[in-house]
Structure 1
Amino acid sequence: MPQTILTLSTRGQGLYEFTDQAEAFVNASGREEGLFTVFVRHTSCSLLIQENADPDMGWVVHRAEGPDDMPAHIKAALTQVSIGIPVARGRLVLGTWQGLYLFEHRDRPHRREIVLHLST
């Protein structure tokens, strides 16, 4: 199972975490090492790695570490052009507070397709 398509339903603009589904895909592959690649098949949303530890992590609400916290996250999101994550010991090598998100840019609900791929 080196590739699958994950479908996420959005409710409008915001961040939609799918770290658990990505980790489940890697785990089910049985591979210990490789490169996990994520690709979204739409032009009005994007993908990003972002903090997933703060319960206040809402769209432009996150200020737990000061007023410049959310602007810093937005800048990181805007410079992201692709996502490739190493896999080691059968797990995604994400940082302690990192998670994978679909970043929905549209106001109305959508069904978004995300391609998950694991190569050796």
Structure 2
Amino acid sequence: MASQAVLLQAHEELQVLTRGEGFQRIDPELNQWIAATGIQVGVLHLTCLHTSASLTINENADPRVLEDLAAWMRRVAPQIGVNSLGEREGYHRYRHDDEGDDDMPAHIRTALTSQTLNLSVVGGRLQLGIWQAVYLCEWRARGSSRRIALHLLGS
């Protein structure tokens, strides 16, 4: 008689404190949590619970990749109307700026990236390529406390 694997699931929220605009690597925390669940093989679904932050899988060896990506995002969704001192000047092109001049650019950058990721878990760890890491993308100028929902299904 063949044995059947029991499907298990675990759910948690990961709190990430950011230092402002940029990329914060989170796969070490994810792997630590996965190990604590005891699930060896499965799928981890991540959801960033914010509209001005997102998730990405990207280069983990050369920091210039993330610097170039951030520079490209600033060109695509700039903070128009803000001088180098952070003071508003001239024409401001975004109508939505309820939380500051970085509010709408952050929403645009989030729309261009991912709010969710589905990742394979093998051997109780994320299955990532040798040069890959999972990052929380903070698109706001100031640091914040960000929440990511973690939902793991497996055995």
TM-score, normalised with respect to structure 1: 0.79
Partner of 2:4: none
Partners of 2:19 and 2:30 lie apart in 1 by 20
Match among 111, 116, 119 for residue 85 of structure 1? 119
Q: How many residues align?
A: 108
Aligned partner (choices 24, 37, 43) of residue 35 of structure 1? 43
The CA deviation string for residues 2-21 of structure 1, in whole angstroms up to 9 with x for no partner, is 11111111111100111100
Structure showing the higher helix proportion among its residues = 2
The residue aligned with 2:131 is 97
How big is the shift at 1:56?
4.0
Moved over 2 A (4+): 55-62, 77-82
Q: CA RMSD in A?
A: 2.3
What 5-or-longer segments of structure 2 have no aligned partner?
1-8, 73-109
* Higher mean C-alpha displacement, 34-43 vs 79-88: 79-88
Cα distance in 2 for residues equivalent to 1:112 and 1:22: 15
Deviations 1:11-51 (A, max 9, x none): 11100111100000111111111101111110001011111
Letter in 1 for 2:38: G
Output the CA distance in 1 between the equivalents of 2:31 and 2:58. 16
Q: Which of 12, 15, 18 is the matching residue for 2:20?
A: 12
Q: Residues 47-68 of structure 1, C-alpha deviation per residue, up to 9 Å, x if partnerless?
A: 1111111244553389xxxxxx
Residues 75-118 of structure 1, C-alpha deviation per residue, up to 9 Å, x if partnerless?
Answer: xx945453100111212111111111010111011100111111
Please name the residue that 1:25 is paired with.
33
Higher strand share: 1
In structure 1, which of residues 113, 117, 120 is the aligned counterpart of residue 151 of structure 2?
117
Structure 1 stretches of 5 or more lacking a match? 63-69, 72-76
Name the aligned partner's letter for residue 53 of structure 2: C
User: Structure 1 residues 102 and 80, CA, compared in 2 at 3 Å: closer, same or farther?
Assistant: same
**Which of structures 1 and 2 has the bigger CA Rg?**
2
TM-score by length of 2: 0.62
